[in-house]
Amino acid sequence: MKRKPSTEATSAWIRLMRVQSRVLDCVEQDLKKAGFPPLAWYDALLELSRAPSGELRPVELERQMLIPQYSTSRLIDRLVDEGLASRRECKIDKRGQFVEITEAGRELQKRMWGAYSAAIEKYVGSKLSDADAVKLSGLLDRLGCSCGEMKLPPIHVNETTPSR
């Protein structure tokens, strides 16, 4: 017989889902108040800017962002329409394409980081000591490796490299 989750594990799950939803909603509202597009735009631009040549295939972007394919396609369309990214045909595979960040996309991502980093500090940093943040990161890393999926890339944060 398979083990059922304990009451404590179930309670942790519920709290994790509620906190994630509430914090993301607050961050989205802060970005909106600052006149910026949704967080997914920042996330996509960040991943494109991190790519060695500033470009990724749509499926790679989808994998990095962990959102459904249909959402990625619509997001790419919006970024291209706004001049923040461009599409380029793959020379090797004519059916494939790359999405490349534009200079306008790089600039928006950098400007958004100011509001986004302030929101991270407001909703997370001000509520946890650095030691608590390290502990929480370790616990979340343990959860992220148990889903049977590809391991998430490490997240490195410093003043010059904005992160999610």
CB neighbour class for 60 (10 Å; exposed up to 12, middle 13-18, buried from 19): middle
pLDDT at 156: 52
Which tokens hold the place of 49?
Answer: 């800017």
pLDDT at 150: 44
Q: Is the C-alpha dihedral spanning 117, 118, 119, 122 positive or negative?
A: positive
Q: Is the pLDDT of residue 31 over 80?
A: yes
pLDDT at 162: 54
pLDDT at 30: 98
CA distance 127 to 85: 36
- Segment 146-155 shows an average pLDDT of 50
Cα 114 from chain centroid? 16
The predicted-structure confidence for 54-108, as pLDDT tens digits, reads as follows 999 998 999 888 677 778 889 999 999 999 999 988 777 767 899 999 999 999 9
Band (pLDDT 50/70/90 cuts) for residue 160 is: very low
The predicted-structure confidence for 63-77, as pLDDT tens digits, reads as follows 888 677 778 889 999
The predicted-structure confidence for 106-139, as pLDDT tens digits, reads as follows 999 999 999 999 999 999 999 999 999 999 999 9
| Residue 163 contacts residue 46 (beta carbons within 8 Å) | yes
